[in-house]
Structure 1
Amino acid sequence: MSTNQRFTLSELAKLKIHFIGIGGAGMSGIARIMLAKGFNISGSDKNDSSLLTSLKALGAEIFIGHDAQNLGGAELVIISSAIAETNPELLAAKARSIQVVQRANALAWLMSESTSIAVAGTHGKTTTTAMLTVALQSAGLDPSFAIGGTINTAGTNAHSGSGSIFIAEADESDGSFLAYQPTGAIITNIELDHVDHFADEAAVFEVFEHFVSSIKKNGFLVACGDDPGVKTLLKRINRPDLKILLYGKDESNDFRMSKIALAPTTSIASISSTGKKLGELQLSLPGEHNLLNSLAAFAAATEVGAAEDKLILGLKSFTGTRRRFELKGEVAGVKVIDDYGHHPTELTVTLIAAKNLAQSGRVIVVFQPHRYSRTAAFAPAFATALKIADFTFLLEVYAASEKPISGVSSLLIAKNMSATEVKFEPSMLAVVNEVAAMAKSGDVIITLGAGDVSSLGEPILQALSNR
């Protein structure tokens, strides 16, 4: 089989497809869509999970652990960038000359026969993609979608819809989003991140420039006109065929929000397009950043023909996604929030929202830096962001797939903060007990990071109950 063969949906339907690492957020979503289309799917992952249970219920053959025999009669193998070259299933696939493709290519094939919208940007991708999905569902369009997070109301991160629209979160972290070639795209913002892959800011702009070039001829781009990174990118784009729609607070934007009102758990803004008043966005989420995300979703949805009044109602009904300012529970007046934020900019907007939620109470953070390379690059900026909180417990760095870097630990962040602001505590058990002992009624405890810090929400709630 050719190593660069592309497949139509009808061709994919005839193949036995095997996923290595099928339990990941992105991989499981693609598998879910393929299963809904009746494809023959198998997959493996090192650990069992509820995602694997649901995929098995949909008809997938699931293996726990990686073994060459798991391939069976596979004719196509899909992997994520997290799969090591030494994986026994990957080695076996190569030995048998089975075509191996990255998940982005597989997703691109699923999107290829639809009106597709790819949602990109350094921050806000998951929330914006989910908002766009819920808004279009409210407008009766039933889009297919693949998102890196679970929509609260739907309880899923992917769906094979009956409509002609396909929405996908487009992750720039390894440049693989260039495979999508969407009909249209959203870019929420651009700045340096994923320093394990991008050497500098120039490399980030280069990949986003290629992403815009990958949008289909006569397609559209919705981008935040207030963002400095987007402004820089727009100067580098030469696509006269592309319809560019800008959104934000500035009067120069095509879609503009004004009269912004931010409450502890909600946010409201009036929206207009080229001077015409369109209505009022009312979100059940806090933070100006979420109003911007919703405006991006609104603009893109109107471009594919959705009714404006139904979009506004859909966005009002949106309650968020898992791990994005997710309320895990409340005990004795103490709220426990979990959030995926792992970049200084994300921490800043999240902690501002947390302070507004706490009002006169305190914000106590449990932060787990994600990757040694990111910690080394942004330690002072992390410290500045964390100072918005009243106190921070710093866990050790979550390595993800990285090897340790000499001299890099969470202490790099702690050194930029005072003892009254931070405590470095690598023991999760100790952090659970200390944060529960510290919290008082009215306080907000927030677990922050893209690693396993998210597992602490329930133990913290239990520790608060046991006081």
Structure 2
Amino acid sequence: MTDRIHFIGVGGSGMSAVARLTAATGVDVSGSDARESAYFLALKDAGMDVRVGHDPALVDGASAVVISTAVRETNPELARARELGIPVLHRSVALANALAGQRLIAVAGSHGKTTTSALTAHLLHACGIDASYAVGARVLGIEGAVAGGYAGTAGIGVVEADESDGSFLRYDREVAILLNIEPDHLDHHGTVEALHAAFEEFASAAELVVACLDDPVVRAMGERLSAAGHRVVTYGKSKDADVRVTKTGVLVSGVAVPMTPALPGTHQRLNAAAAWAAAVHLGADPGEAADAVGTFGGTGRRYQLRGEVDGIRVIDDYAHHPTEVAALLAGAREAGTGHLVVLFQPALFSRTQLHAGAFAEALSIGDADVVVSAVHGDREDPIPGVDSHLIVDAAAMPEGSTIALVPALEDAAQEAARLAKPGDTVLTVGSGTVTQAADWILDALRMRADD
């Protein structure tokens, strides 16, 4: 009988990529999720047996069951697997198994993992290297990709390495990219020191570390690793970086390499430098890879244009940490977006509790109307006293800008649409269900335009 591996929560961005790569190894794959998603439907279209609803019978006969950290022990399928003694694997273990034997680039950091992973895969493909990848969003522009997963033939892979639950330590990585390190996911790591130690363990196991000198924690870590004999290539705007980022490209050993990211913002230039350095190490032609930076189609939910109505553009972005939100808004300004209407949905009560003041500071921008919805708890239970009021009450909006709390997401979408005028840009921001609001806003704008 053919082995079958069952994925609980298969419609998630990360889980769907692992399911796709597992299926590519010849293993029979099944899966379930509470509801359909774009990732779920992509797997269904690819011929996989994925079903809506969690039914204990679905795990009967499976050789293994795959879960993410978000799957609770009370899930009926997981409970059934435990009862039957079926091996239960974290998705990172399943992914490591699916990519076993490949030369891996693992991308880690508090921010920018998805974009940098996708861009690295794009550069390799543009240079004729048919690399596999597992990225937490759809990678636009690579034929044959299903959601965020693609099984290539080059024996090279790119993985978005997640530090949130420590699973990034499970990959047999040849190249470790360190983008940045900030306090987050302390619900798992416990302390900042433990978080830093996990990142250092992640980097020290790689043959090559690509480290951003502009981040003080990564800089210090890179210096320690280099002193211990590890091979480290640095990048950043800093003058002492091996790959120095400029407004027009990068400088390497004094030689200018033109490079223009398709996405706006300084952080995108940094991401491009990291992706370029890693891709070149794996055999990409330096000039071709640099040219390909400008042809990157992006990923789902990373500064993704969802539509335009009556001169109002609606852009959706996954930014969910204060640094990411600040970088997103700065990049939007750099792109010349005009007046901004921002619909922000905080994600996780623990993150909101830790970073409410920083979120308020990031959102306190000029020439903008900001709407904040209720916290999307996702895998967490509510924390007493922690809600979106903490962000709104701490905001210090410049003259001419506004901020308002509208808890229900659908109501918040309607308010964002009401505030938007021709020439404005509306941003839906967050890692939760706020992505649905982009469609609601576009629908409201169309109805208004038809009146």
**TM-score, normalised on structure 2?**
0.94
Q: How far is the alpha carbon of 1:72 from its aligned partner?
A: 2.6
- Structure 1, residues 318-352: CA drift from partner, whole Å, max 9, x if none? 02111111111111221111111111100111011
Question: 1 CA distance for matches of 2:76 and 2:116?
Answer: 37
Q: Could you give the per-residue CA deviations for residues 188-242 of structure 1, whole angstroms, max 9, x where no partner exists?
A: 1111112322333212201101212332xxx111111121120232344377453
Q: CA contact under 8 A between 1:358 and 1:443: conserved in structure 2?
A: no
- List per-residue Cα deviations over 1:83-124 (Å, max 9, x = no partner): 111222222222222211101111111222111110101100
Offset at residue 48 of structure 1 (A)? 2.5
2:319 is matched with which residue?
341
Aligned to 1:427: 408
Q: Distance in 1 between matches of 2:62 and 2:410?
A: 43
Instruction: Give the secondary-structure state (helix, strand or coil) at the position aligned to 2:116.
Output: helix
CA–CA separation in structure 1 for the residues paired with 2:264 and 2:93: 35
- Structure 2 Cα separation of the partners of residues 241 and 418 of structure 1: 47
CA contact (8 A) 1:136 1:314 kept: no
Q: Could you tell me which residue of structure 2 aligns to residue 129 of structure 1?
A: 117
Q: 2:57 aligns with which of 48, 69, 88?
A: 69
1:212 aligned onto 2:242:
no
Shift of 1:458: 1.5
Q: Give the corresponding residue for 1:276.
A: 255
Question: For residues 44 and 341 of structure 1, what CA distance do their matches in structure 2 show?
Answer: 27
Tell me: CA distance 1:200–1:318, structure 2 relative to 1, closer, same or farther (3 Å): same
Name the structure 2 match of 1:371: 348
Query: Deviations for 1:144-163, whole angstroms, at most 9, x for unmatched residues?
Result: 00000111223631110011
For 1:144 and 1:183, the matched residues in 2 are separated by 14
Tell me the equivalent position of 1:161. Answer: 152
Q: Call closer, same or farther: CA 1:110–1:429 in 2, change over 3 Å.
A: closer
Secondary structure of the corresponding residue to residue 397 of structure 1: coil
CA distance in 2, matches of 1:457, 1:57: 24
Pair 418,274 (structure 1): closer, same or farther in 2 beyond 3 Å: closer
| Aligned 8 A contact 1:63 1:70 in 2 | no
In the alignment, does 2:99 pair up with 1:108?
A: no
Change (3 A) 1:143 1:239: farther
Q: Are residues 1:82 and 2:70 paired?
A: yes
Residue number in structure 2 paired with 1:39: 27
The answer for unaligned runs of 5 or more in structure 2 is none
Measure, in 2, the Cα distance between the counterparts of 1:34 and 1:59. Answer: 14
Q: 2:297 aligns with which of 294, 300, 319?
A: 319
Q: 1:339 to 1:49 in 2, by over 3 A?
A: closer
Match of residue 386 from structure 1: 363
2:413 alignment partner AA: V
CA distance in 2, matches of 1:362, 1:408: 30
When normalised by structure 1's length, the TM-score is 0.90
The residue matched to 1:183 in structure 2 has which SS?
Answer: strand
3-state SS, counterpart of residue 196 of structure 1: helix
Structure 2 counterpart of 1:7? none
2 CA distance for matches of 1:141 and 1:85? 41
Q: 1:443 aligns with which of 401, 424, 433?
A: 424
Shift of 1:46: 1.4
Asked whether the equivalents of residues 179 and 271 of structure 2 are also in contact (C-alpha less than 8 Å), the reply is yes
Residue matched to 2:193: 202
- Computed over aligned residues only, the root mean square deviation of the Cα atoms, in angstroms, reads 1.8
Q: 2:369 touches 2:402 (CA, 8 Å); kept in 1?
A: yes
Tell me whether 127-136 or 25-34 shows the greater mean CA deviation.
25-34
The aligned counterpart of 1:60 is 48
- The number of aligned residues is 441
Provide the C-alpha distance between the structure 2 equivalents of 1:119 and 1:385, rounded to a whole number of angstroms. 25
Aligned pairs for 1:284-299 within 5 A: 284-299=262-277
Contact 2:222 2:232 in 1 (8 A): no
Over the matched positions of the two proteins, sequence identity in percent amounts to 40
Equivalent residue in structure 2 for 1:172, among 163, 166, 172: 163
Tell me how far apart the structure 2 counterparts of residues 457 and 397 of structure 1 sit (CA, whole Å): 17
Is 2:225 the counterpart of 1:225? Answer: no
- 1:255 paired with 2:243, answer yes
Counterpart of 2:263, as a letter, is L
2:51 and 2:227 map into 1 onto residues whose CA distance is: 46
- Residue identity in the other structure for 2:425: V
Q: Distance in 2 between matches of 1:28 and 1:16?
A: 16
Q: Amino acid of the residue matched to residue 97 of structure 1? A: G
- Secondary structure at 1:163's aligned position in 2? coil
Shift of residue 32 of structure 1? 0.9
Q: List alignment gaps of at least 5 residues for structure 1.
A: 1-12, 261-268
Deviation at 1:281, TM superposition (A): 0.4
- Work out the CA distance in 2 between the residues paired with 1:109 and 1:433: 45
Secondary structure of the equivalent of 1:466? helix
User: What amino acid is the match of 2:372?
Assistant: L
Separation of aligned partners in 2, 1:308 and 1:89: 48
Pick closer, same or farther for the CA change 1:305–1:429 going to 2, 3 Å: closer
Q: State the alpha-carbon separation in 2 of the partners of residues 52 and 128 from structure 1.
A: 24
Instruction: Verify the 8 A CA contact 1:118 1:186 in the aligned structure 2.
Output: yes
Aligned equivalents of 2:231, 2:212: Cα separation in 1: 14
- Note if 1:138 corresponds to 2:115: no
Shift of 1:386: 0.1
1:358 to partner: Cα distance: 4.0
Q: 1:358, 1:442 within 8 Å by CA — same for their partners in 2?
A: no
- Describe the shift of the 1:48–1:439 C-alpha distance in structure 2 as closer, same or farther (beyond 3 A): closer
2: CA distance, partners of 1:318 / 1:283? 8
Q: After TM superposition, give the deviation of residue 186 of structure 1 in Å.
A: 0.6
